[in-house]
Chains A and B, each alone.
Chain A
Amino acid sequence: MARRRNTPPAGNTPPAANTPPAAATPSAGNTPTSTPGRTTRSRSIPPVPTPVSSTPGDISSPVSSPIGNTFSSPNNVTSSVRKRGRRGMETPPPPPHSRFAATPDGSGIGGSGGGGGDSPPDTSTPGSGGNGPSSEGEDAEAYEAPPMYVWGTSISVQDVNAAILRFLKHFREHPSHDEGKYMKAIDSVIEMEGESLEVDANDVFDYDNDLYTKMVRYPLEVLAIFDIVLMDMVSRINPLFEKHIQARIFNLKSSTSMRNLNPSDIEKMVSLKGMIIRCSSIIPEIREAVFRCLVCGHFSDPIIVDRGRINEPTMCLKDECKTKNSMTLVHNRCRFADKQIVRVQETPDEIPEGGTPHTVSLLMHDKLVDAAKPGDRVEITGIYRAMSVRVGQTQRTVKSLFKTYIDCLHIKKTDKSRMNAEDPMETDESSTQNEQGIPMDHEQLVEKLKELSKNPDIYEMLTRSLAPNIWELDDVKKGLLCQLFGGSALTLKSGASFRGDINILLVGDPGTSKSQLLTYIHKLAPRGIYTSGRGSSAVGLTAYVAKDPETGETVLESGALVLSDRGICCIDEFDKMSENARSMLHEVMEQQTVSIAKAGIIASLNARTSVLACANPSGSRYNPRLSVIDNIHLPPTLLSRFDLIYLILDKADEQTDRRLAKHIVALHFENPENSEQNVIDLQTLTAYLSYARKNIHPQLSDEAAEELTRGYVEMRRRGNFPGSSKKVITATPRQIESLIRLSEALARIRFSEWVEKKDVLEAFRLLEVALQQSATDHATGTIDMDLITTGVSASERMRRDNMVGLTRNIIMEKMQLGGPSTRLLELLEELKQRSGNSELHLTDLRNALSTLASEGFVVVHGDSVKRV
Chain B
Amino acid sequence: MVGRQYDCLTNPLGAVRFTFDKAVASGSDPASFDRKDWGVADIFRDFLFDNDGLAQVPILTPSTLHVVQPNSLVRFRGMIQDMLGNEFYVGAYKNEETWNTNKFSDVAQFPMGPSPDMRVWERRLLYCVPVPGQNTWADSASEGVIHTYATSANREKRQRETCSVSDEMDIQDSSNETPNSPRAKKMREGESVPQENMTDATDCSTSMAPEFDRNSFPCLVKIYDTPESDLKLNDVFEFIGVLMFDTDVKDDKHGENEMANCFDEEESVNLPSSKVPRLHCLVHRKLSVNDMISISPTMEPKPELLRGIRDSLLRHLTVVLGDDELAAHFMLLHLLSKVHVRVDSVAVGKLSFNLSGFDKSSISVFGNRINDAIKNLLPYSQRMPLTVDYLNTASLAPVKDYQTNRLVPGVLQCAEGSHLTVDETPLQSGTLNNNGVENARLLKDLMDFQKVEYDFKYYKMKMDADVQLLILSEGKSNILPADIVLPFHPTAVGPLGNVDAETLNAWRWYLATLRSLTYSIGTEIQKVVEDDMVSARKVDRSLGTEDFNRWLTMGRLMSVSYGEACLSNEHWQMVKEMERLRKERIK
Docked complex Cα distance between A619 and B413 (Å): 45
Q: Known contacts A47-B120, A390-B255, A392-B252; is A668 also within 8 Å of B247 by CB?
A: no
Q: Are B118 and A348 in contact (CB under 8 A)?
A: no
- Check if A397 is an interface residue, CB within 8 A of chain B: yes
- Check if A44 is an interface residue, CB within 8 A of chain B: yes
In angstroms, how far is the closest chain A Cβ from the Cβ of B531? Answer: 8
Docked complex Cα distance between A354 and B286 (Å): 15
Select from chain B the residue with minimum beta-carbon distance to A262: B122
Q: Known contacts A19-B256, A263-B88, A386-B120; is A652 also within 8 Å of B108 by CB?
A: no
From 245 to 287 in chain A, residues with beta carbon under 8 angstroms from any chain B beta carbon are: 259, 261-263, 266, 275, 277-278, 280, 283
* B residues near A657, Cβ cutoff 8 Å: 533-534, 537-538
In angstroms, how far is the closest chain B Cβ from the Cβ of A368? Answer: 16
Select from chain A the residue with minimum beta-carbon distance to B541: A652
- Check if B211 is an interface residue, CB within 8 A of chain A: no
- Check if A358 is an interface residue, CB within 8 A of chain B: yes
Q: Are A355 and B529 in contact (CB under 8 A)?
A: no
| A interface bracket (residues with beta carbon within 8 Å of B) | 35 or more
- Check if A101 is an interface residue, CB within 8 A of chain B: no
Q: Are A405 and B529 in contact (CB under 8 A)?
A: no
Docked complex Cα distance between A278 and B458 (Å): 11
Select from chain A the residue with minimum beta-carbon distance to B459: A348
Q: Are A263 and B228 in contact (CB under 8 A)?
A: no
B399-419 vs A, CB cutoff 8 Å, 1 = contact: the mask equals: 000110101000000000000
Most chain B beta-carbon contacts within 10 A, residue among A48, A375, A387, A511:
A48
Q: Are B249 and A389 in contact (CB under 8 A)?
A: yes
Q: Are B115 and A356 in contact (CB under 8 A)?
A: no
> Interface segment, A53-61, A575-583, A837-845?
A53-61
Q: Are B259 and A400 in contact (CB under 8 A)?
A: no
- Check if A351 is an interface residue, CB within 8 A of chain B: yes
| B interface bracket (residues with beta carbon within 8 Å of A) | 35 or more
- One of A375, A398, A662, A664 near B458 (C-beta < 8 A): A375
- Check if B343 is an interface residue, CB within 8 A of chain A: yes
- Check if A353 is an interface residue, CB within 8 A of chain B: yes
Most chain A beta-carbon contacts within 10 A, residue among B112, B258, B520:
B258
Q: Are A41 and B116 in contact (CB under 8 A)?
A: yes
Q: Are A658 and B530 in contact (CB under 8 A)?
A: yes
From 263 to 277 in chain B, residues with beta carbon under 8 angstroms from any chain A beta carbon are: 263-264, 266, 268
Q: Are B120 and A266 in contact (CB under 8 A)?
A: yes
Q: Are B89 and A469 in contact (CB under 8 A)?
A: no
- Check if A46 is an interface residue, CB within 8 A of chain B: yes
Q: Are A26 and B530 in contact (CB under 8 A)?
A: no
B61-88 vs A, CB cutoff 8 Å, 1 = contact: the mask equals: 0000000000000000000001101111
Q: Are A263 and B121 in contact (CB under 8 A)?
A: yes
- Check if B106 is an interface residue, CB within 8 A of chain A: yes
Select from chain A the residue with minimum beta-carbon distance to B534: A657
In angstroms, how far is the closest chain B Cβ from the Cβ of A201? Answer: 26
- Check if B6 is an interface residue, CB within 8 A of chain A: no
* B residues near A59, Cβ cutoff 8 Å: 259
Q: Known contacts A49-B114, A394-B251; is A654 also within 8 Å of B263 by CB?
A: no
Docked complex Cα distance between A275 and B456 (Å): 11
Q: Are B402 and A15 in contact (CB under 8 A)?
A: no
Q: Are B538 and A654 in contact (CB under 8 A)?
A: yes
- One of A275, A401, A667 near B549 (C-beta < 8 A): A667
Q: Known contacts A24-B256, A359-B85, A400-B112; is A469 also within 8 Å of B343 by CB?
A: yes
- Check if A402 is an interface residue, CB within 8 A of chain B: yes
Q: Are A664 and B402 in contact (CB under 8 A)?
A: no
In angstroms, how far is the closest chain A Cβ from the Cβ of B260? Answer: 6
- Check if A660 is an interface residue, CB within 8 A of chain B: yes
B525-549 vs A, CB cutoff 8 Å, 1 = contact: the mask equals: 0100110011001100100110011
Q: Are A395 and B251 in contact (CB under 8 A)?
A: yes
Q: Are A46 and B233 in contact (CB under 8 A)?
A: no
Q: Are A400 and B407 in contact (CB under 8 A)?
A: no
Q: Are A391 and B251 in contact (CB under 8 A)?
A: yes
In angstroms, how far is the closest chain A Cβ from the Cβ of B70? Answer: 12
- Check if B191 is an interface residue, CB within 8 A of chain A: no
> Interface segment, B294-302, B344-352, B496-504?
B344-352
Q: Known contacts A397-B108, A657-B538, A664-B533; is A469 also within 8 Å of B344 by CB?
A: yes
Docked complex Cα distance between A657 and B543 (Å): 10
Docked complex Cα distance between A374 and B459 (Å): 12
- Check if B457 is an interface residue, CB within 8 A of chain A: yes
B349-362 vs A, CB cutoff 8 Å, 1 = contact: the mask equals: 00000000000000
- One of B88, B257, B456, B521 near A390 (C-beta < 8 A): B257
A44-86 vs B, CB cutoff 8 Å, 1 = contact: the mask equals: 1111111000111001000000000000000000000000000
Q: Are B530 and A56 in contact (CB under 8 A)?
A: no
From 93 to 118 in chain B, residues with beta carbon under 8 angstroms from any chain A beta carbon are: 102, 105-108, 111-118
B434-470 vs A, CB cutoff 8 Å, 1 = contact: the mask equals: 0000000000000000000000111101011000000
* B residues near A389, Cβ cutoff 8 Å: 249, 252, 260, 268
Q: Are B259 and A393 in contact (CB under 8 A)?
A: no
* B residues near A46, Cβ cutoff 8 Å: 120
- Check if B34 is an interface residue, CB within 8 A of chain A: yes
- Check if A624 is an interface residue, CB within 8 A of chain B: no
- One of B235, B255, B343, B529 near A393 (C-beta < 8 A): B255
In angstroms, how far is the closest chain B Cβ from the Cβ of A612? Answer: 21
Q: Are B526 and A392 in contact (CB under 8 A)?
A: no
* B residues near A47, Cβ cutoff 8 Å: 88, 118, 120
Docked complex Cα distance between A266 and B34 (Å): 15
* B residues near A471, Cβ cutoff 8 Å: 545
Select from chain A the residue with minimum beta-carbon distance to B264: A403
Select from chain B the residue with minimum beta-carbon distance to A358: B85
Q: Are A277 and B402 in contact (CB under 8 A)?
A: yes
* A residues near B233, Cβ cutoff 8 Å: 354-356
Docked complex Cα distance between A359 and B266 (Å): 11
- Check if B158 is an interface residue, CB within 8 A of chain A: no
Docked complex Cα distance between A650 and B545 (Å): 14
Docked complex Cα distance between A44 and B533 (Å): 71
Q: Are B106 and A401 in contact (CB under 8 A)?
A: yes
Q: Known contacts A398-B108, A669-B521; is A661 also within 8 Å of B405 by CB?
A: no
Q: Are B549 and A664 in contact (CB under 8 A)?
A: yes
A203-221 vs B, CB cutoff 8 Å, 1 = contact: the mask equals: 0000000000000000000
Q: Are B114 and A50 in contact (CB under 8 A)?
A: yes
In angstroms, how far is the closest chain A Cβ from the Cβ of B362? Answer: 35
* A residues near B249, Cβ cutoff 8 Å: 389, 391, 399
Q: Are A343 and B402 in contact (CB under 8 A)?
A: yes
Q: Are B260 and A402 in contact (CB under 8 A)?
A: no
In angstroms, how far is the closest chain B Cβ from the Cβ of A14? Answer: 10
Docked complex Cα distance between A669 and B549 (Å): 11
* A residues near B463, Cβ cutoff 8 Å: 354
Select from chain B the residue with minimum beta-carbon distance to A341: B262
* B residues near A395, Cβ cutoff 8 Å: 247, 251
* A residues near B458, Cβ cutoff 8 Å: 275, 277, 345, 374-375
Docked complex Cα distance between A662 and B523 (Å): 11
* B residues near A261, Cβ cutoff 8 Å: 86
**Lowest 7 CB-CB distances: which A-B pairs, in order?**
A354-B232, A392-B251, A469-B344, A661-B533, A56-B259, A263-B120, A402-B88
**Can you spell out 20 A-B residue pairs with CB atoms less than 8 angstroms apart?**
A24-B256, A47-B88, A263-B34, A283-B262, A351-B461, A352-B228, A352-B229, A353-B464, A354-B232, A389-B268, A397-B107, A404-B88, A405-B263, A654-B538, A661-B533, A664-B533, A665-B521, A669-B520, A669-B526, A672-B341
Extra contacts, 20 of them, besides A263-B119, A374-B402 (Cβ < 8 A), are A48-B114, A59-B259, A277-B457, A277-B458, A283-B262, A347-B459, A352-B228, A354-B235, A356-B82, A358-B86, A389-B268, A391-B249, A399-B106, A400-B102, A400-B106, A403-B263, A660-B545, A661-B530, A664-B545, A664-B552
The chain A residues found within 8 Å of chain B, CB to CB, are 12, 15-16, 19, 24, 26, 41, 44-50, 54-56, 59, 259, 261-263, 266, 275, 277-278, 280, 283, 308-309, 341, 343, 345, 347-348, 351-359, 361, 374-375, 386-387, 389-395, 397-405, 468-469, 471, 511, 650, 652, 654, 657-658, 660-662, 664-665, 667-669, 672
